[in-house]
């Protein structure tokens, strides 16, 4: 991983639609070697996917809800059931298992409070929780899908 590779990763995180010629011009290479680098970065797993980022507001899911989940069941069976349940809910766009007081943190995007209530009811129908606490985001101060590229060797 050299400086050119890092530049390519930064550029592709900004816009995955750049052509090989556009990328090459920006990093100071010719298109063919530039494209080979991109293909290598994909093969090696640095680039997991190329996606389009949609505008949540235009898609009518502008409300973000952070859901803190606690459970008193820590079995493999419960976790598998939980994973299957959240996989079926497209409004849940992130799910994290945590250390500390909260077992899981979900990020849910919905049109409104009623939309969240419907998601909540779907979850509690199939998975038992000991506590669920929801916080509605009042303002998105920072959002990015770009990850830092300076820490890779």
Q: DSSP letters along 116-131, please?
A: HHHHHHHHHHH---SE
Residues 127 and 71 in one domain: yes
Q: What is the DSSP letter of 55?
A: -
Hunting for tokens 């909540």 — which residue is that? 120
Q: The whole model's pTM is what? A: 0.88
Hunting for tokens 């050299």 — which residue is that? 2
Residue-level pLDDT at 153: 78
| Dihedral sign, Cα of residue 18, residue 19, residue 23, residue 26 | negative
Residues 39 and 68 in one domain: no
Residues 39 and 101 in one domain: no
Distances in Å between the alpha carbon of 138 and those of 27, 64, 118, 133? Answer: 39, 8, 20, 16
Residue-level pLDDT at 25: 97
Residues 23 and 68 in one domain: no
8-39 pLDDT per residue, tens: 999 999 999 999 999 999 999 999 999 999 99
Residue 7 domain boundaries: 3-43
Residues 76 and 24 in one domain: no
Query: 26, 11 in Cβ contact below 8 A?
Result: yes
How many residues does this entry show for the chain? 153
92 lies in some domain = yes
144 lies in some domain = no
Residues 132 and 76 in one domain: yes
99-136 pLDDT per residue, tens: 999 999 999 999 999 999 999 999 999 999 999 999 99
CATH of the domain at 105: 3.30.70.920
Give the count of domains, the chain: 2
């Amino acid at each position: 991983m050299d400086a050119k590779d890092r530049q390519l990763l930064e550029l592709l995180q900004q816009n995955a639609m750049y052509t090989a010629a556009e990328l090459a011009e920006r990093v100071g290479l010719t298109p063919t070697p530039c494209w080979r680098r991109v293909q290598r970065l994909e093969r090696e797993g640095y680039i997991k996917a190329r996606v389009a980022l949609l505008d949540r507001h235009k898609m009518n899911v502008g409300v973000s809800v952070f859901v803190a989940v606690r459970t008193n069941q820590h079995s493999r069976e419960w976790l598998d059931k939980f994973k299957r349940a959240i996989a079926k809910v497209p409004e849940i766009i992130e799910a994290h298992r945590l250390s500390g007081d909260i077992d899981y943190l979900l990020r849910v995007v919905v049109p409104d409070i009623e939309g969240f209530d419907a998601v909540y009811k779907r979850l509690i129908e199939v998975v038992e929780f000991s506590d669920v606490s929801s916080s509605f985001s009042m303002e998105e101060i920072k959002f990015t899908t770009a990850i830092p590229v300076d820490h890779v060797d």
